[in-house]
Structure 1
Amino acid sequence: MKKWLIIILLCALAVIGYRYVYQDHRDIATETSIYKLTASDISNEFAINPMSSENKYLNKTIEVSGSISDKNPQSITIEDKVFCQFSNEIQKTLNTDKIKIKGRFIGYDDLLEQVKLDQCIIID
């Protein structure tokens, strides 16, 4: 009886562990943004206190607005302060004056002094 209880317990732990490790990917497009900022605002926050800012935004969905300073097929840089990586190639023709992007904050690059977002989408 003890042997079966241990086997069932181990199987349950294996299933729980598998589900924890292999969670479904987040769909940033359907998530609500927790923070809405300009590129200058978020950059200034990291200039003042990078550690607390990183803890505040890490793995959160945020919206950033500003003007485009650099564009590649799968990424955009906003005001040289926010790097936004897209999952697919950008299909839209973009106006460089003003853009609003939603994405997941993944970190801050101290060397380039840039906020990094991934899974980005363009908000019209």
Structure 2
Amino acid sequence: MLKKLIIFGILIISVIAGYNYIFQDHRTIEDETAEFIISASAIGNQFSNDLKTAEATYLNKTIEVSGRISEINTTEVTLDDKVFCQFSEALEASIQQNSKLKIKGRVIGYDDLLEQVKLDQCTIINTKN
């Protein structure tokens, strides 16, 4: 009987630990402090020159990146043709192409085909014309 209780207790603890591991709280990138502050061209060059080292350094990290807007859509911005930033909400109409922008976001990977670093959950830190 004692053996069954011990096994049942271990099973319950395992289920609770597994549930907490699978259903972790989501990160709020906007509230996190950036681990790296870098320009769009610099991070783009690091990924294109040494992908493995750059991924080990930046992947899933919160960064602040600055650059000039080369492409803009309602929820997406590309900085210096090197960094693609995806926003959760629509961008303000005042943000224009070729203006300088500083963005905070999470690095989710590198697109070899387009040679762009991908960021998600982006927020605008400041804008300069």
- TM-score bin (small chain): over 0.9
In the alignment of these two chains, the number of paired residues is 124
Give yes or no for the alignment of 1:28 onto 2:29.
Answer: yes
In structure 1, what is the Cα distance between the partners aligned to 2:74 and 2:14?
43
Structure 2 residue matching 1:73: 3-state secondary structure: coil
1:118 partner amino acid: D
- Write out per-residue CA displacement over residues 29-56 of structure 1, whole angstroms, 9 at most, x where no aligned residue: 1101000011111011112211110111
TM-score, normalization by structure 2: 0.91
In structure 2, what is the Cα distance between the partners aligned to 1:47 and 1:58?
14
- Write out per-residue CA displacement over residues 55-74 of structure 1, whole angstroms, 9 at most, x where no aligned residue: 11010000110011111111
Match of 1:62 in 2: 63
Match of 1:100 in 2: 102
In structure 1, what is the Cα distance between the partners aligned to 2:74 and 2:86?
10
The offset of 1:92, in angstroms, is: 5.2
Match of 1:39 in 2: 40
In structure 1, what is the Cα distance between the partners aligned to 2:32 and 2:85?
17
TM-score, normalization by structure 1: 0.95
Match of 1:76 in 2: 77
1:15 partner amino acid: I
Match of 1:10 in 2: 11
**Hey, which bits of structure 1, 4+ residues long, moved more than 4 A?**
none
The offset of 1:6, in angstroms, is: 0.7
Match of 1:122 in 2: 124
Q: CA RMSD in A?
A: 1.1
Moved more, 44-53 or 56-65: 44-53
Report percent identity of matched pairs.
52
